Amino acid sequence: MDRSVEPEPGAGPGGHATAPTRASTLRIATAGSVDDGKSTLIGRLLLDSKQVFADQLRHVEEASRRRGDGYVDLALLTDGLRAEREQGITIDVAYRYFATPRRRFIVADTPGHARYTRNMVTGASTADVSLILLDARKGVVEQTKRHAFVSALVGVRHLVICVNKLDLVDWSERVFDEIVSDFGDFAAKLELGEVTFIPISALHGDNVVERSGNTPWYDGPPLLYHLEHLHVASDRNLVDCRFPVQWVIRPLDDEHSGYRGYAGQVASGVFRAGDEVVVLPSGERTRIAGIDGPEGELEEAFPPMSVALRLADDVDVSRGDVICRPDNRPTRARDIEAMVCWMSERPLRPGQRLHLKHTTRWTQVTVEDVRYRVDVETLHRDRGADRLELNDIGRVHLRTSSLLLVDDYRRNRQMGSFILVDEATNDTVAAGMISAIVTGDGAREAGRSPNVVWQPSAIERPERWRALGACGATVWLTGLPASGKSTIGAALERALVERGAHAYMLDGDNLRHGLNGNLGFSAEDRSENIRRTAEVARLFADAGSIAIVTLVSPYRSDRERARELHARDGLEFVEVHVDTPLEECERRDPKGLYARARRGELTGMTGVDDPYEPPEQPDLTIAGGEPGEAVARILEELERRGIVAP
């Protein structure tokens, strides 16, 4: 569990002073089955963190007495609708705000009933963490799986599973461990990040704000401490600079004569005065002359700041345009594939026409096809489905009437999401997450160059591989600098060649002598370095060679995209984490980089002043000790997969 501390307001990604931001605000979506205690837990958090006024508490006490509860029902602090109080369930998404000296919190109390899955999507779509409650007596139920799936679908990177009502099972450690195991089996099928389990009693406050003596077998922190120290700053996409223009500011008064600013919210990336940018879809290039915030001029802007950009040149910019970096642009698309949660009583069917809102742009859209519907309990894809009913989640093909500028949702939540609106009623009927662009050759991931067609070889892969007597694959070694990746990679290359296999090592430093020679070590350049290397490795693998990639590749999302690139082409990808402790890497320091970084002569050094995100589920984890032992283990994995012969 990451307990690192986020930067205080006033410190931006580049370390410069900026206007106060929401960097220390945590957005939480609560979920769980009906009567699992979500509203009670939020009420307990509010009460025990001293966020409830005395008159509010007296009102809740009186309401509890009138209902004959026999105890103070803290759920009444959040169940605001009369129907909710009468039925004892949450129907609408209720937002609550509270703060501790450590952090500010925005809590979305979402409904637990399956009928209100759409409300769960609404609450989780902007959340940093999903807090899923389950009843210790019932264990992992269908709604637990539904809410975990929705959290993974909308890109929530942190899950906290609160096993509630443990007091009703005598604080059984065995019950808690069984629930952890059952949920872990299901979660393994999802693309989830950090998952934390906490045993609690929301009614009595055990392990909510203070550690409970009733769970001596639990050595983790209480819930509030975990939420206060949860590190989410690195979840933001600071690589892909995207600024959808919401409004053009041109004051008419004499004092601001000649001022022209382009207002909006930074979707991703970091913008600084002097940066070269391009305005899409026109393609006009210019530079940022200045950045204005609510309290004056800023040095930089990053998500989720709302600012106005001033440009150096008089270019044509209007609402719906996107300002980005010239060498890192979103994809132009009219045909997209997306996962959608349908929110209307009227089913979604092919041929339907709707309005689509993407960032600050509106367009009409036609539903071309329903690819499949997902059974959220089993995760089975029903490819025979021809419609989506209320609260169904499925993949659809949409065609827009005008151009969209999009990113894959998994990479960029803001540029990859949209809503669908009924043309007749103006009701929001769906929330969508873009997963692919559709071309004449089928679906492809967002992020490729437009107006190009893949030229197929005259030789099919099976024929090529049979002629070579080889199978292609990529072995991707990642780890801290000086962890031993290159040494292991070179030894693996020799071992494979001696076996008669086609193998070639793509070392990070070697690639920067040519192919990636124009890249630096910023977050953007590191990401592009990985992208180019992954593309080359894919070509090697397709040709029947085993590409051995030895790169620090510090960011988890970049490595995941490399894996996905191979998976789409049906190629084997073996991620090997060379897990050498930082202290040992610094002791080795063959290039003297750690020493220079510690002296302040070098910035952006992974492991010193730049983060390394270790793989969560690598195919193989090895220590960077004896290269021969590491090579033997990698060869065993390649043999197991049938890539090389035993």
Helix (H, G, I), strand (E, B) or coil at 286: strand
DSSP-assigned letter for residue 560: H
Q: How far apart are CA 33 and CA 114, in angstroms?
A: 8
Which of 307, 267, 556, 265 lies closest to 417 in space, CA to CA?
267
List for the chain the helix, strand, coil content (%; round to 5).
25, 30, 45
Q: What is the pairing mode between strands 417-421 and 428-439? A: antiparallel
Dihedral (Cα; 542, 545, 549, 555), 10-degree rounding: 20
> Are the C-beta atoms of residues 612 and 526 closer than 8 Å to each other?
no
Q: What is the β-pairing status of strands 194-199 and 158-164?
A: parallel
Distance CA 270, CA 325 (A): 10
433, two tokens? 């997450």
* Contact predicate 343/299, CB 8 Å: no
What DSSP element (H or E) covers 257? none
Find out whether 577 and 517 touch, Cβ atoms under 8 Å.
no
- Mode of pairing for the β-strands spanning 417-421 and 353-358: antiparallel
Q: Where are the alpha helices (DSSP H) in 253-310?
A: none
Instruction: Identify the active-site residue in 151, 172, 553, 557.
Output: 553
130 is a catalytic site residue: no
DSSP 269: S
Helices 627-640 & 485-498, crossing angle to 10 degrees? 60
Tokens representing 452 are 């190009």
Q: In terms of C-beta density within 10 A (0-12 exposed, 13-18 middle, 19 or more buried), how is residue 83 classed?
A: exposed
User: Active-site residue numbers?
Assistant: 553
